[in-house]
Amino acid sequence: MNREPPPADPSQEAVIIVDKENNVTGAVPRWIMRRDRLIHRATYIVVSNSQQQILVQKRTMSKDIYPGLLEMASGGVVRQGETWMSSAQRELQEETGISDVTLKVHFDFYFEDKSNRVWGRIFSCTWDGALKFQKEEVEWGKFLNQKEIEAQMSTGKFTPDSVYLYKLCKKEGIIP
């Protein structure tokens, strides 16, 4: 089925498309990636503060996937021509205003549900400075402790990939 992107689609940006083994196969506009549920790359940046709380963000209702849900990582799709690191730095700065911070690279993982098929790379950083959220993507954000995050996750208010990411980060010691 070939159709035009919906008028509310925020971007025609080309995103990297990969296969099940995370090999690049090409690039397509974001709306085609979503429409055809193509496997793509995305960055996930876990931001914690010196009190070991994790930054949780509420996605705006205009997001093309998981609108209005909470997530425990900044990040997004890797655009054509970007590296994992440049994508992570761009997304972190756009969504939270955080820049000039050292990002620690952890590992890649595959996630799939009925809406999304993605190879993600986990990054983390510590930040105690000011935050400036991107109004188009982030309704609000705040630092929560693990108990608060787990309580919110039990209500179904988190994106499915955030729930998966949280479990991976706990298992791998990224979250103490």
Q: What is the pTM of this model?
A: 0.91
DSSP 8-state assignment for residue 98: -
Which superfamily, per CATH, for 14-172?
Answer: Nucleoside Triphosphate Pyrophosphohydrolase (3.90.79.10)
Q: Which two tokens stand for residue 95?
A: 């969504």
Q: Are 149 and 72 in contact (CB under 8 A)?
A: yes
Q: Could you report the per-residue pLDDT of 86-109, keeping only the tens digit for each?
A: 999 999 999 999 999 999 999 999
Q: Are 99 and 74 in contact (CB under 8 A)?
A: no
Helix (H, G, I), strand (E, B), or coil: what is residue 107? Answer: strand
Q: Could you report the per-residue pLDDT of 19-50, keeping only the tens digit for each?
A: 999 999 999 999 999 999 999 999 999 999 99
Domain ranges (residues) in the chain: 14-172
Helix (H, G, I), strand (E, B), or coil: what is residue 22? Answer: coil
Tell me what pLDDT residue 11 has.
Answer: 61
Band (pLDDT 50/70/90 cuts) for residue 175 is: confident
